[in-house]
Amino acid sequence: MEDARKNPITCDLPITNEANIGSYLGVPIFYSSGVFFGTLCAVDSRTSNFHQDNIKTLSRLSKFFTYVLELEKQVNLDSLTGLYNRHYLYSLFEEVLTPDNSSKGTIMFLDLDGFKGVNDKYGHEMGDIVLKEVASRINKCLTEKDIAVRLGGDEFILLFPEMADVIEMEQKANEILHAMLNWTIFKHKLTLSASIGITIYPDDSKQIRTLLKYADTAMYKAKERGKNNFQFF
């Protein structure tokens, strides 16, 4: 863009005058999958100040950002479901807890009921489809501040950083349990549900490994009580 102050799209934007933007150059950044991430921008107070060499430089930087984004995904994301992985959960939790322990939250340990039967009857490809769908259903139950993690297999961790009210925990757990019912894939009606164990931090513990152990214990208690329910540690 040779002159942002004269372009009909940008001329009335407050930032154009506030930042004294004359010429503007923007190159899109994409994930390796082709999904748009953002735009790498360069601005100058002078007009018509960007040339073909500048475009090539920004394009190379854009490709570098794509590479970095892909590395970050490999480190922090589960390759099958796209949810966060155990490594990310452990590193994130250190940031969630405040030094004075004033931040309270909830961890839910979700394990599918009947998943082994799906793998045994229909094969692991069907199992992978189920796990991807579980991740999708979980995400629909979460807000932007909540975190979903796949530990491995059919085990998932849900971290609710600001949930400290028991009634709210029960409502959320019931919402998730309901979302894990009613399965028909490729005309196959599957018998699946979920069992959830709930633990509260820092009341139960301030250590993520201990909290996961407690939530796991509560989850197995839910399975012992008939499955398709939740239990507190």
69: confidence class by pLDDT, cuts 50, 70, 90: low
Pick 17 or 84 by higher pLDDT: 84
111 catalytically annotated: no
Mean pLDDT computed over every residue of the chain? 89
**Distance, CA of 212 to CA of 161 (rounded, Å):** 15
Among 62-66, 85-89, 113-117, 142-146, the least confident range? 62-66
For the question of whether the overall pTM of this predicted structure is more than 0.75, the answer is no
Q: What is the pLDDT of residues 104-133, one digit of tens each?
A: 899 999 999 999 999 999 999 999 999 999
Mean pLDDT computed over 79-102: 82
Burial (0-12, 13-18, 19+ Cβ within 10 Å), 162: middle
pLDDT digits (tens, 9 = 90+) for 164-174: 899 999 999 99
Catalytic residue among 111, 146, 154, 216: 154
What does the pLDDT read at residue 9? 82
What are the angstrom distances between the C-alpha of 207 and each of 101, 201, 203, 214? 12, 9, 11, 11
